[in-house]
Amino acid sequence: MIGPTLGYVQLTEGAQMLEKWKRAVVHLECATDSEHFYDRIKRIDEMRALLEQEKITHEQFAEELSGRSRDIRFHGTALFLSHAGRRFLLTARHVVWDERSAKREMEEDAQRMMGWPEHMREHLHQTATERAQSRIFNIIFRVPSIEEVLANQKGEEFLMNLGARTSATVPYTFSGPDLDLALISLDQRDSRFADELVARGFAPIASDDIADWPDSEGQEVITVGFPSSTALIGQVSQHPATAHWSSSHFSVPVTSFGRVSMLHEQLPFYWVDMSIFPGNSGGPVVANDRLVGVVSAQATLPIDAIPEVRTRIPFGKIIKSCYVRALLEEQIQKDRYHER
């Protein structure tokens, strides 16, 4: 990571501020399977039956067992944050929500409940819906920086099986879908992911640097993140045996500049006149060296001739940072409950 000086030239105050936020953004790569576990088990059972009937060879059976695992990857940005002596990742909910798996598991639950009494189906459907809305990716990698790759350092730590607990003790908290915020606790189970961040030069932003929202319309703001079209610099070759356990990409953070274009006290979000691209989501929006929001989405409009296709327009939807404090307090309660 770049420190407070560049060679012998002292960075300006603005450049130092920018470096502070660059050192706090983390490039996430969330992995899921193109074939869900439920479908994989069914397919393997079918292939095993064919093997027993000698309709396929052992080689064909072995080939069917490989692949389709962690072969779909999604990118986003998270902010390394510290609060009350604990470390967290703050991001957009949709960055770490495994929508694909959530929908498949809802389908499986619906099939399982067919024929059950209606009052039982209603209760279980509600439970299944709540579980689906908080379905986090089973494994989340960190994309290494170009400096790490040049130094032959790889991101060894990852976040795995965060959802494998009761909702009262999981090391993450989701807002509702409309608010689109998520917080991951990095010190609840073990601190290796956060410790590696610090060892590689990352520095968390203190929660004291969180403002509620920008001062006014027209205020200058920046966001730092990892839009896939510009932040991804290249890929490294991976052995097939290790490809499922890390990201093959490396990247550099990209800064975007703009102004607040719409701010209303009754709305949980505001608009800024800057372009937001896939990969920017979850990134911090900063004004006067304080967090004032989290990137959620880019504005879009339907195309007249093809209504089902939408085109992007250069306005970013930003969630006000005042809602982050409630997530922090909720997650700290979960962490303390887990520590009992």
The verdict on residue 327 lying in a domain is yes
Q: What global pTM score does this model have? A: 0.88
pLDDT computed for residue 2 by the predictor = 42
Measured CA to CA, the distance from residue 286 to residue 210 in angstroms comes to 9
Q: Would 239 be classed as within a structural domain?
A: yes
pLDDT at 7: 43
Q: How many domains does the chain have?
A: 1
Q: What's the chain look like in SS3?
A: CCCCEECCEECCHHHHHHHHHHCCEEEEEEEECCCCHHHHHHHHHHHHHHHHCCCCCHHHHHHHHCCCCCCEEEEEEEEEEEECCEEEEEECHHHHECHHHHHHHHHHHHHHHCCCCHHHHHHHHHHHHHHHHCCECCEEEECCEHHHHHCCCCCCCCEECCCCCCCCCCCEEECCCCCCCEEEECCCCCCHHHHHHHHCCCCCEEHHHECCCCCCCCCEEEEEECCHHHHEEEECCCCCCCHHHCCCEEECCEEEEEEEEECCCCCCEEEECCCCCCCCCCCEEEECCEEEEEEEEEEEEECCCCCCCEEEEEEEEEEEHHHHHHHHHHHHHHHHHHHC
pLDDT at position 340: 75
* Backbone φ and ψ of 306, nearest 5°: -135, 80
Q: From first to last of its 340 residues, what are the pLDDT tens digits of the chain?
A: 444 344 444 568 888 999 999 999 999 999 998 877 777 778 888 888 888 888 888 888 787 776 667 889 999 999 999 999 999 999 999 999 999 999 988 888 888 778 778 777 777 788 888 888 999 999 999 999 999 999 988 778 999 999 987 788 899 999 999 999 999 999 998 899 999 999 999 999 999 999 999 999 999 999 999 999 899 999 888 887 778 889 999 999 999 999 999 999 999 999 999 988 999 999 999 999 999 999 999 988 888 778 778 887 889 999 999 999 999 999 999 999 888 7
Residue that has been written with the tokens 């800057």 in this structure: 274
Is 103 inside a domain boundary?
no
Assign residue 183 the CATH number of its domain. 2.40.10.120
Separation between Cα atoms, residue 28 and residue 77, nearest integer Å: 6
Question: To 5 degrees, how large is the angle CA 159–CA 157–CA 244?
Answer: 75
Buried b (16+ CB within 10 A) or exposed e, 251-278: bebbebebebeebeeeebbbbbebbbbe
Sign of CA dihedral 137, 139, 140, 143: negative
Using an 8 Å Cβ cutoff, are 299 and 312 in contact?
yes
Alpha carbons 188 and 169: distance in angstroms, whole number: 9
Instruction: Provide the 10 A C-beta neighbour count for residue 244.
Output: 12
Range of the domain at 276: 5-33+69-98+136-339
Note the pLDDT of residue 66: 67
Give, in order, the Cα–Cα distances in Å from 247 to each of 7, 31, 76: 31, 9, 13
The reply to whether 217 falls in a domain is yes
In a domain, 113, yes or no: no
pLDDT value of residue 217 = 98
For residue 165, is it within any domain? Answer: yes
Let me know if residue 291 belongs to a domain: yes
Evaluate whether residue 192 is within a structural domain. Answer: yes
The answer to whether the CB of 146 falls within 8 A of the CB of 236 is no
